[in-house]
Amino acid sequence: MVLLGLSPEELQAWLVANGQPAYRVRQLQQWIYQRGARHLQAMTVLPRQWRETQPSVSIGRSQLVQQVQAGDGTTKLLLQLKDGETIEAVGIPTAERLTVCVSSQVGCPMACRFCATGQGGLQRSLASHEMIDQVLTMGEATGRRPTHVVFMGMGEPLLNLSAVLESIKCFCRDLGIGQRRITISTVGIPQQINRLAQQAQQVLGRSQFTLAVSLHAPNQPLREHLIPTAKAYPLENLLEDCRSYVAQTGRRVSFEYLLLAGVNDQPHHAVELAKWLRGFQSHVNLMTYNPIAEEDFQRPSPQQVQGFRQILMGRGLAVSVRASRGLDRDAACGQLRRRLVHRTRN
């Protein structure tokens, strides 16, 4: 049994069924979420003799294998799970906030050419407690309270939707992170965006988190070149589903666009992208490429980035440029884990 992520009602039912008074649920929650207990035996507020009768109960915490910090304060953690698999979590600090970039799977099946994680394929999806643990561990590693969560780490969140939504419920209920401070990022899975809108309503009561859709190209052929799995999901259909999502939830969609020098960053690409998104309740988030050894893509110049931004803004789109973080310490998603896997195999 894993305690991390269980609701107060579930924790209370477990306590009572095992001979403990219901009021201990508050003590359990405090030790799990505020005091960082990693084992039931560490919870000295509970009777020692009773704790010893629960050897099969797990808090659900991972083991910190490696922690690296870039010059700008960005922190990357390599975590080992109970079955020996490893995942990454990234902490991005500013003066006012700490954003945790959470992985939803071990590896990823989407095979995006610019992503280190996609080069290794998918091992498995994460349980909700394994996603919650990443946020707790980042808070402990940095000594700061996480304020924002983005599902932009390893994996495709919409292929692990139920567990992702359950972890969001825990972030809101037990860690005090509101939905408006949470983002789910996807490259797009057929039927799953509509399913997200429906299941979020059922699990969370309302959909107030941000949906970020990774486009990375203004037309279908180029998108298939960068994201091979996009062949199953034409751009036109993806955007239609995004419009349906806006209508169902009342929340705008954020479109992620990774700029690759000479590939998708030319003026005509910006004009083409603007035509697709004109009149859309959306926001465009431009990013610049973090190089990986397996591909020869390059980062565009700052001038190229600003030129692309100006074209979009000139056509009435809301646009921002995300500053690259952690460039001096394996910034691209999956690099730290791939380095460990490569070292282990060799």
Q: Across the strands, what pairs with 89? A: 77
CA separation for the pair 222, 235 (Å, rounded): 11
Alpha-carbon dihedral 324, 327, 332, 337, rounded to 10 degrees: -150
Q: Beta strand 63-69 with 75-80: parallel, antiparallel or unpaired?
A: antiparallel
Look up tokens 């700490």; give the residue: 98
Burial of 182: CB neighbours in 10 Å, binned 0-12, 13-18, 19+: buried
Helix (H, G, I), strand (E, B) or coil at 232: helix
CA separation for the pair 34, 162 (Å, rounded): 25
Q: State the CB neighbour count (10 A cutoff) for residue 96.
A: 6
Written as six digits, the tokens of 74 are 């960005």
Tell me the catalytic residues. 88, 333
Indicate the length of the chain as a whole number.
346
CA separation for the pair 78, 66 (Å, rounded): 5
Measured in degrees and rounded to the nearest 5, phi and psi for residue 207 equal -110, 100
